[in-house]
Amino acid sequence: MLDPRIAAAAGVMVIFQDFSLFPNLSVYENIAFATQLSAHKRLYDRDKARNIAREALDRIGVTIDLDVRVESLPVAHKQLVAICRALASEARLIIMDEPTTALTEKEVRRLLGIIRRLKEDGVAVIFVSHKLAEVLEVSEKVVVLRNGKKVAEGPASEFDTQSLAYHMTGREMPETPPSVVTAGARTLMRVDNLAKEGSFADISFELKAGEVLGITGLLGSGRTSLAKALFGLVAPDHGSIQIDGRDVATGDPIAASHAGIGYVPEDRLTEGLFLSQSIARNVAIGRLDHHSGRGGFLNASGMIAEAAGWLERLKVKAPDIDAAVQSLSGGNQQRVVLARWLSRAPRVLILNGPSVGVDVGSKADIHGIIRDLSREGIGIIVISDDLPELLATCHGILVMRDGRVTDEVTGGSVTEEELAHRLAS
């Protein structure tokens, strides 16, 4: 029977999406562990482990402190450690499962560079991803799977993002950019001079009814803290947020949600969902007060009926409404979070990374949902570093760097390359 040690001995290593590292051990030990394990040694040689690790890091040309614990590394470095671990055990085939999900644009560039370097070195790589541009950029050959079946195979040069998306979903999906905001739409949200020491400063903007506003920036640009501050999860040092001309207490998520702001967090697994609870409960928790009936008991049938309505509207694919949320795919989980907020009829919806970790089909659906909602007059803020996503959904895009808005772009007026350039320059 095939087990990890036999696979490793044959030169096959898998880099899992979560990297499968040991957070409590040092960088060098993580890199050298598999190698020493397959050598069938009983004794552990610290100096040798360090040498193995140093060689592997040299091979991909990066420097990481060998002695720090992996838990204190940023995500991109953890991934490099995982790659080095595979290299150290003489891997000849490395399988990478969605390696770029957690990386910023710049880190993705570096990873793709490393993959090219590995190719020249004679190491084969299977790059499992739903990020089509990256797949086309780095691969020689593409295999498309759908519902567990191989539906297409061929040299990468024979595909483009459109045809890949078609094979993956079985339908054509041209992304239509958003229609123009109705002239004379009311101002929904007004942010004045919002600032937080060390995170962001001088943030002012207006959001009109039916407008989709993108906020982008590299990791560390302050976009995530700003997103959280808008919903009161981070208390700003000064500045104000108004909804419909009325001040909303800052640093208070309950006040924000009462004022009609909804927030879909970036990491839905830890910040957005009760994973082991049912879909119905995950939706109903958004406004439990509404569901409480006589004597303070919850009206279960009302809860289920409402959740069912939303699931249908947002096209959630789920075995049934009592299924635990953790059994759903990423795209469907994201829809459940959306359903929860939509049931509260928000005025402003803040979506932090709305399509992180969801497949192409769901992503297009989520973009469709964003367009539908904006047509209904909800103001939407999309925070993302996925540039095609911003260009496909937003009327205007704020570019952040070092905590400040450095650029303001009207949707449709720039290409992806231009936007990427403004982001990094």
Please say which residue, 73 or 349, places its beta carbon nearer to other proteins: 73
Q: Which two tokens stand for residue 160?
A: 């483009």
Pick the closest to residue 355 from 344, 369, 342, 343 (CA basis): 369
Q: Does 52 bind other proteins (CB under 8 A)?
A: no
Q: Does 264 bind other proteins (CB under 8 A)?
A: no
Please say which residue, 95 or 364, places its beta carbon nearer to other proteins: 95
Q: Does 274 bind other proteins (CB under 8 A)?
A: no
Q: Which of 5, 150, 315, 317 binds other proteins (CB under 8 A)?
A: 5
How far is the C-alpha of 343 from the C-alpha of 403, rounded, in Å?
Answer: 33
How far is the C-alpha of 202 from the C-alpha of 217, rounded, in Å?
Answer: 15
How far is the C-alpha of 311 from the C-alpha of 280, rounded, in Å?
Answer: 9
Pick the closest to residue 212 from 243, 190, 179 (CA basis): 179
- The distance of closest approach from Cβ of residue 20 to other proteins in the complex, given in angstroms and rounded to an integer, is 4
How far is the C-alpha of 401 from the C-alpha of 139, rounded, in Å?
Answer: 32
x-marked contacts with other proteins along 57-96 as a string, rule CB under 8 A: ----------x-----------------------------
How far is the C-alpha of 81 from the C-alpha of 7, rounded, in Å?
Answer: 19
Q: Does 37 bind other proteins (CB under 8 A)?
A: yes
Residue 414 contacts residue 392 (beta carbons within 8 Å): no
Question: Bridge-partner residues for 192, per DSSP?
Answer: 240
Q: Does 41 bind other proteins (CB under 8 A)?
A: yes
Q: Does 43 bind other proteins (CB under 8 A)?
A: yes
DSSP summary character for residue 269: I
Q: Which of 8, 64, 191, 391 binds other proteins (CB under 8 A)?
A: 8
Q: Does 270 bind other proteins (CB under 8 A)?
A: no
x-marked contacts with other proteins along 9-28 as a string, rule CB under 8 A: -----x-x---xxxxxx---
Amino acid at 38: S
Please say which residue, 46 or 238, places its beta carbon nearer to other proteins: 46
Q: Which of 12, 27, 28, 29 binds other proteins (CB under 8 A)?
A: 29
Q: Does 321 bind other proteins (CB under 8 A)?
A: no
What is the separation of C-alpha 123 from the centre of its chain, rounded to a whole number of angstroms? Answer: 29
- The distance of closest approach from Cβ of residue 42 to other proteins in the complex, given in angstroms and rounded to an integer, is 6
Please say which residue, 101 or 187, places its beta carbon nearer to other proteins: 101
How far is the C-alpha of 399 from the C-alpha of 412, rounded, in Å?
Answer: 15
Residue 375 dihedral angles phi and psi, to the nearest 5°:
-65, -30
> How many residues of this chain bind other proteins (CB under 8 A)?
24
- The distance of closest approach from Cβ of residue 5 to other proteins in the complex, given in angstroms and rounded to an integer, is 4
How far is the C-alpha of 271 from the C-alpha of 264, rounded, in Å?
Answer: 9
Residue 96 dihedral angles phi and psi, to the nearest 5°:
-110, 120
Q: Give the 3-state secondary structure of residue 13.
A: strand
Q: Does 38 bind other proteins (CB under 8 A)?
A: yes
User: Which of the stretches 30-38, 240-248, 348-356, 377-385 binds other proteins when contact is defined by CB under 8 A?
Assistant: 30-38
Q: Does 3 bind other proteins (CB under 8 A)?
A: yes
Spell out the residues 6+ positions from residue 384 whose beta carbon is closer than 8 angstroms to its own: 214, 215, 216, 351, 352, 353, 354, 355, 390
Residue 53 dihedral angles phi and psi, to the nearest 5°:
-65, -40
Query: Which is it for strands 348-352 and 149-155: parallel, antiparallel or unpaired?
Result: unpaired
Q: Which of residues 148-187 bind other proteins (CB under 8 A)?
A: none
- The distance of closest approach from Cβ of residue 52 to other proteins in the complex, given in angstroms and rounded to an integer, is 13
Q: Does 36 bind other proteins (CB under 8 A)?
A: yes
Q: Does 189 bind other proteins (CB under 8 A)?
A: no
Q: Does 42 bind other proteins (CB under 8 A)?
A: yes
Q: Does 44 bind other proteins (CB under 8 A)?
A: yes
* Positions that interact with other proteins (CB under 8 A): 3-5, 8, 14, 16, 20-25, 29, 33-34, 36-38, 41-44, 46, 67
